[in-house]
Amino acid sequence: MARMSIQNTLRTAGLDDAGQIADVLARAFDDDPMMTWFFPDEASRAQGMARYFATIFTRQYGPYGVCERTDAGVSFWVSPEGQDKAVPDAETLGELEGILGDRAGLFREAVAVAAGHGPKEPHWYLAVLGADPAARGQGHGAALLRSGLARADAAGLPVYLESSKESNLPFYEHFGFTVLGEARLPGGGPAVWVMRRAPRTPDAVRRG
């Protein structure tokens, strides 16, 4: 029997999608070095990551970002205007620390380091991009990425992201991102690569 294709048609993600979004992202990040560092217990990792992603979606990126989804992929973007609001407040940090348990201190340190090294120029920020491994190769991540890049290009703004999975760097480089630097998360955590993509003109987009 032929494998059924999962539709990669984009739609806006609403807060009532939180459960499905959390499950997709928990599967997408199951082998991500940063997430496995935050959730080292394999037995509870899937549940913990689903709660984590549901929390940041409902409390940060859903209300203050631009969130899109397909049947098997999710992206969280933040515009320049939304970046001051989309940071975790004290209540959100408290909820996340309850989910992270004894890794909460490391998470708080990582958030503080990221906040102190953010780019100063106006930009769009790609906070999360993930697709269910069962749908790998069907274009979900690419469709979600292109959608956000088009918004940034229309505004004439660069895009920033941090990738904690080295094997994903060529994917982003294909879309015009370059690596600005590599850093280690506090407490002996994994490496994170900061990437930037310059805005493209309509002619450059057509050529590339």
Residue 4 pLDDT greater than 70, yes or no: no
pLDDT tens-digit readout, 33-75:
999 999 999 999 999 999 999 999 999 999 999 999 999 999 9
Residue 80 pLDDT greater than 90, yes or no: yes
pLDDT tens-digit readout, 188-201:
889 999 999 999 97
Range of the domain at 41: 11-207
2 found inside a domain: no
Residue 3 pLDDT greater than 50, yes or no: no
105 found inside a domain: yes
5 found inside a domain: no
pLDDT at 196: 97
CATH classification at residue 144: 3.40.630.30
123 found inside a domain: yes
What's the structural domain count of the chain? 1
Average pLDDT (77-100) is: 93
132 found inside a domain: yes
Average pLDDT (159-186) is: 94
Please name which of 26, 55, 32 lies closest in space to residue 134, comparing C-alpha atoms. Answer: 26
Burial class of residue 112 in the structure, from the number of CB atoms within 10 Å of its CB (0-12 exposed, 13-18 middle, 19+ buried): exposed
Average pLDDT (168-181) is: 97
* Mean pLDDT over each residue of the chain, to the nearest integer: 90
Across 168-181, b (16+ Cβ under 10 Å) vs e yields beeebeeebbeeee
pTM for the model: 0.91
pLDDT at 1: 38
Q: Cα separation of 24 and 175, whole Å?
A: 23
Containing 147, the helix (H) or strand (E) segment is helix 140-155
| pLDDT: which is higher, 9 or 52 | 52
pLDDT tens-digit readout, 126-162:
999 999 999 988 999 999 999 999 999 999 999 999 9
| pLDDT: which is higher, 183 or 198 | 198
CA–CA–CA angle 202, 207, 208 (5° rounding): 95
What is the sign, positive or negative, of the torsion defined by CA atoms of 24, 85, 159, 184? negative
Average pLDDT (172-183) is: 95
